[in-house]
Amino acid sequence: MALQEAVHDIDAGFMAKVLKVGMIVVVGIGLCMVYFLIQFKGLGTEQAMDQAQIARSLISGEGFTTRYIRPLAIRQLTDAARKVPAVNFPDFYNAPLYPLVEAAALLPIKKRIAMEPTDTLSMGDRAIAAIGILLLLLGVLVWYFVGTMLFDRTLALMGAGLLLVTDLLWQYALAGLPQLFLIVLFGLVCYCALKALKAEEENRQFAIYGWLGGGAFGLGLMSLTHGVTSFLVPGFLAFCLFAFRSRLIPFLVPFFIYLLTVLPWLLRNYSVCGNPFGLSIYIALAGSGVTEQFVMRGVNTGLTLGGGMASKIRSGLFDQASHLWEYLGLNITVLAFFVSFLHPFKNPAAAIWRWVILIMWAGLTLGMALFGVKGAVSGNQLHVIFIPIFILFGTAFILVLWNRLNITLKPLRVAFLTAVFLVSGIPMILTLLTGQQSRIQWPPYVPPFISVLQNWFKPQELLSSDMPWAVAWYANRKCLLIPETVRQFNEISDFGSLGSPIVGLYLTPVSGGEPFINLLKGPYKDWGPVIMRTVNVNDFLLKRFTPLPIDGECILYADTERWARQSSR
């Protein structure tokens, strides 16, 4: 009898729950080790390095300042009658919250961020990847609790497991981008909204206002992490207006709390540069076919903004639609979310919240169309923050279909659930089987040979590059994005707009890898001879140059032979 009870306990009782949770924990720890120690090869996106170097400025006591200088930022300060600082250039492009999170990760290794010549990976990169993995695990925990409110613990546990086998989330954990932090915050927003619905059922008015206020505060934090997430707010406010009997106050309370959350940063931006939205507004207003790099390289803000906006939105929506499953992690349960609208869920909160999620997702999709999405793992790819909630609803729908088959054999149920996990985890399986393709993010980044610039140039000297975000992060040097024309480049140097002349120009495959036609007629047409190394250096500002690894695909122009001076020591 005791043996039968023990077997039953292992099969369906407390021990079953312990074994399930324990298995998820073990799998999670194993994946953390594999991705962090084997798959990680450094930061690989502009936004990740840009925010990382701002985080280092924060722990250095320089505040929200940047070493990545955009020519458009210089002009915006000038047009707003603001002084262009020679040192501690203010950042008014990035949202502030995630650099603060990264600063907490970098603070313990403050003195070890700089790379040594023998290093392949930066200690700073490792710290940022570690905080990304912690945020992934925290996000899984938060969404487990959301799942218990929408459905039950069993389905929530299954959703947590499916999140852990979604390769795209692990790619973001290593990328140094803020999406996983947004997933945590969005989970808290959903939790607060569901608590408000429960308070509505129990007729607890003050609890409704409190939970909705908490959700609005979470949305404010999301906007302070990534500005495009502000497109979620209309959908949330529509929910507040129509989902509660007392409509006006449930709408006004979160509306004002959201404004109070984001207002200080908007006022700070206005004080610094004369525009509450900083530089990012120019990306949204740029018309069809105008890239972000082109906008940021333009010293003159007199761009033709707004031209072809309808075409821009249309092409942006089409691009997202054609890559949607890739943007959602290639997880089969995510696709089931869209089919789940055919099923009337018995839980009223789940039935209502499903439609709210759809509206918020549509709003965010419009925002991404305005600002542009460059790839599955990129700064503005925000479909990923919906993966957890899509998985929960999609998994619930798949289980409903399975239960309608009335198959009672437990081995078949286990086989079915195993198949769901295996199909959802195919991208992860392929990633782990193929292994790491290279030890660094080449092309175009070679961190050891970027970091050497800090030995060749002094902290107060000014560099320029086609990848200033990488120079600012790995070399810790102030670096100007190459302007639209060589003339503008010379004027910034000659007038000392940034406190000193330009003494170095670092060019990489970012510009060198452009199609030949772009060097003749495209955005780099004025720089074609410099990039192709056919320029007469006697007529150029910087008259010395040296090829740099890998295979001479990078080149450094400088005022003097800094590399020779360094090697002679």
pLDDT in tens, 173-187: 999 999 999 999 999
- Please calculate the CA angle 129-548-491 and round it to the nearest 5 degrees: 95
CA dist., res. 358 & res. 341, Å (int): 10
Bridge partners of residue 547, in order along the sequence = 555
pTM of the predicted model, to two decimals?
Answer: 0.94
Q: Is the pLDDT of residue 461 over 80?
A: yes
**DSSP letter, residue 86:** S
* Rg (alpha carbons) of the chain, rounded to whole number: 26
Residues 6+ apart with CB under 8 A from 51: 94, 98, 99, 102, 176, 178
Sign of CA dihedral 223, 226, 228, 229: negative
Q: How many CB atoms are closer than 10 A to CB 386?
A: 21
**DSSP letter, residue 477:** -
Q: Is the pLDDT of residue 458 over 60?
A: yes
Q: Is the pLDDT of residue 11 over 80?
A: no
CA dist., res. 295 & res. 306, Å (int): 13
Q: Exposed/middle/buried for 258, CB within 10 Å: 0-12, 13-18, 19+?
A: buried
Classified as helix, coil or strand, 295 is helix
**DSSP letter, residue 116:** P
Q: How many CB atoms are closer than 10 A to CB 348?
A: 13
Nearest to 449 by CA among 564, 567, 556: 556
- Residue 2: the pLDDT is 40
- Residue 324: the pLDDT is 96
Say what percent of the chain tops pLDDT 90.
Answer: 76
Q: Report the range of poorest mean pLDDT among 122-126, 165-169, 283-287, 495-499.
A: 283-287
CA dist., res. 370 & res. 469, Å (int): 23
What's the rounded mean pLDDT across residues 123-137? 96
Q: Is the pLDDT of residue 482 over 80?
A: yes
- Residue 12: the pLDDT is 52
Predicted confidence band at 1 (pLDDT cuts at 50, 70, 90)? very low
Q: What is the mean pLDDT of the chain?
A: 91
CA distances to 56, 57, 105, 112 from 108, in Å: 11, 14, 7, 9
**DSSP letter, residue 5:** H
- Residue 171: the pLDDT is 96
pLDDT tens digits along 36-58? 988 999 999 999 999 999 999 99
DSSP string, 495-539: TTTTSS-EEEEEE-HHHHTS-HHHHHTSTTGGGHHHHTT-S-GGG
CA dist., res. 253 & res. 209, Å (int): 7
Predicted confidence band at 17 (pLDDT cuts at 50, 70, 90)? low
- Residue 406: the pLDDT is 87
- Residue 306: the pLDDT is 52
- Read off φ and ψ for residue 507, nearest 5 degrees: -110, 145
Torsion angle, alpha carbons of 397, 400, 401, 405, to 10: 170
- Read off φ and ψ for residue 503, nearest 5 degrees: -115, -5
What's the rounded mean pLDDT across residues 266-274? 97
Say what percent of the chain tops pLDDT 70.
Answer: 93
Q: Exposed/middle/buried for 112, CB within 10 Å: 0-12, 13-18, 19+?
A: middle
**DSSP letter, residue 556:** E
Q: Report the range of poorest mean pLDDT among 310-314, 333-337, 437-441.
A: 437-441
Residues 6+ apart with CB under 8 A from 107: 59
Q: How many CB atoms are closer than 10 A to CB 224?
A: 21
172, 132 contact by CB (below 8 A): yes
Token representation of residue 422: 């295996």
pLDDT tens digits along 516-537? 887 888 889 999 999 999 999 9
- Residue 29: the pLDDT is 86
**DSSP letter, residue 37:** I
- Residue 14: the pLDDT is 60
Token representation of residue 228: 């495009």
- Residue 15: the pLDDT is 62
